């Protein structure tokens, strides 16, 4: 017996939280941090988080249109960006490099998600001609 797919509302909510944290990290980095290295970590985490939150929403939209692998791509975007950006936020806020090994795992998941989204786009069923 296979597990039921996660409801889209969970993915949309997660994407919203990922976007929210991206804006918060960017604002914090721009206005409350003076160390240029820490600013860079927050900026990078925020940029990747925002782009991939939007990519997850786009993947969910394609999923509703019958694109294969778009659903798994959305989840890979969300998990990958959360690991990537989250590890940079932890590094910036605490200085702890313990999660440094998690950052590239998030990056690989984001790359895999883009590959799945590309495949989904190329194999999207054609709409009937009117």
Would you give the distance in Å from CA 79 to the centre of its chain? 6
In a domain, 94, yes or no: yes
In a domain, 3, yes or no: no
The per-residue pLDDT for 128 is 56
Q: What is the rounded radius of gyration, in angstroms, for the C-alpha atoms of the chain?
A: 16
The per-residue pLDDT for 130 is 57
5 neighbors 69 (Cβ within 8 angstroms)? no
pLDDT digits (tens, 9 = 90+) for 84-103: 999 999 999 998 888 788 99
pTM for this prediction: 0.88
Count of structural domains, the chain: 1
pLDDT digits (tens, 9 = 90+) for 13-33: 999 999 999 999 999 999 999
In a domain, 128, yes or no: no
The per-residue pLDDT for 113 is 98
Range of the domain at 58: 8-122
Query: In degrees to the nearest 10, what's the CA dihedral of 53, 9, 61, 124?
Result: 110
The per-residue pLDDT for 129 is 55
What's the N-to-C CA distance of the chain in angstroms? 40
Q: What's the whole-number average pLDDT of the chain?
A: 91
């Amino acid at each position: 017996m296979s597990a039921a797919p996660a409801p889209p509302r969970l993915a949309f909510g997660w994407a919203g939280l990922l976007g929210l944290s991206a804006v918060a990290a960017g604002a914090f980095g721009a206005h409350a941090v003076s160390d240029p290295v820490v600013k860079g970590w927050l900026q990078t985490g925020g940029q990747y988080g925002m782009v991939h939150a939007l990519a997850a929403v786009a993947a969910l939209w394609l999923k509703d249109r019958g694109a294969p692998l778009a659903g798994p791509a959305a989840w890979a975007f969300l998990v990958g960006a959360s690991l990537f950006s989250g590890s940079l936020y932890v590094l910036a806020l605490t200085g702890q490099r313990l999660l440094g090994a998690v950052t590239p795992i998030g990056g690989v998941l984001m790359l895999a998600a883009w590959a799945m989204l590309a495949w989904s786009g190329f194999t999207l069923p054609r709409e009937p001609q009117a």
